[in-house]
Amino acid sequence: MSKFHKDPIFFLQIFIFLSQFTNILSQTTDFPIINCFNNHKITNFTLHPNSTHISSIHYNHFLKFSLQNLRVAKDSTPKPTAIILPESKEQLANSVLCCRGLSLEIIIRCGGHSYEGISSIPRGNNPFVIIDMMNLNRVIVDLESESAWVEGGATLGELYSAIAAHSSYYGFPAGLGPTVGVSGHFSGGGIGVLGRKYGLSADNMLDVGLIDAEGRVMGRAEMGEEIFWALRGGGGGNFGVVYGWKVQLVHVPKGLLALVLNKAQFMSWPN
């Protein structure tokens, strides 16, 4: 036996070479997806561990990161071919186009609280991807127009914090759970403690940015009042991907009557 065969560095180099070679080989089977993502400038994604494009640590991390419904976190739950985490409106629109071109069913996830698990599991048995909106969570508050634009991946907590950072006078009528996503919540109506005074979240929506199956970004004017109406109560994931919502800020009353464990309590608001 030559002296190289006893050298640990030699074995290490062989091991690194082989693993790189296997990685390249396995990537070729994912070529259509990777090619499409590259062509569409989709940079932030992770593929199913079988593909080994990116390590399964990333995949499992992002699969569970925003998933709040543990009933669909089982091993037996169907797993997406890829998880895409768009970072801009363009990447979101391109994700829709790319997945459509590859006949991959698109599942959108915002806060991941869906009781039915429909932000995790596909409708049929076809290959699917999850578009996780978590990186699209910016909130732009404009006190002058008493409104805010909130991106479709923000949570209610992120929306409330952003408004509170600008003013303690304004708020927004929505639910209590800070980790609930704005998109799933607004798409279903949105009931909260300010509801008696201001109605549902859906009643306080001024505009919306919707991406349709052609990758077009449409506002309220382009989509028309019928779709705008359906988006506010018709359930998430039915009419396209919501990139962002323009919400009407409301005045938070100085005092709120809340019922806590059968006791009526009067809570004052720090104005």
Ligand X SMILES: Cc1cc2nc3c(=O)[nH]c(=O)nc-3n(C[C@H](O)[C@H](O)[C@H](O)COP(=O)(O)OP(=O)(O)OC[C@H]3O[C@@H](n4cnc5c(N)ncnc54)[C@H](O)[C@@H]3O)c2cc1C
What is the contact surface with ligand X in residues (CB under 6 A)?
A: 107-115, 118-119, 133, 152, 175-177, 180-181, 183-185, 187-188, 190-192, 236-237, 241-242
Q: Are 204 and 186 in contact (CB under 8 A)?
A: no
CA 103 to chain centre: 21
Q: Which is nearer to ligand X, 34 or 136 (CB)?
A: 136
Find tokens 């499409």 and name the residue: 36
Shortest approach of ligand X to residue 176 CB, angstroms? 4
Whose Cβ is closer to ligand X: residue 51's or residue 187's?
187
Return d(Cα 186, Cα 175) in angstroms, integer: 10
CA–CA distance, 182 with 178 (Å, rounded to integer): 10
80 or 181: whose CB is closer to ligand X?
Answer: 181
Cα–Cα distance measured from residue 22 to residue 157, given in angstroms and rounded to the nearest whole number: 44
* Minimum distance from residue 180 beta carbon to ligand X (Å): 5
Which two tokens mark 169?
């006078």
Cβ(209)–Cβ(218) below 8 Å: yes
Closest separation in Å from C-beta 54 to ligand X: 23
Strands 170-171 and 205-211: what pairing?
unpaired
- The length of the chain is 271
As measured in angstroms, the least distance from the Cβ of 253 to ligand X is 18
Of 47 and 159, CB closest to ligand X: 159
Q: How far is the CB of 140 from ligand X (least distance, A)?
A: 17
Which is closer to ligand X, CB of 53 or CB of 209? 209
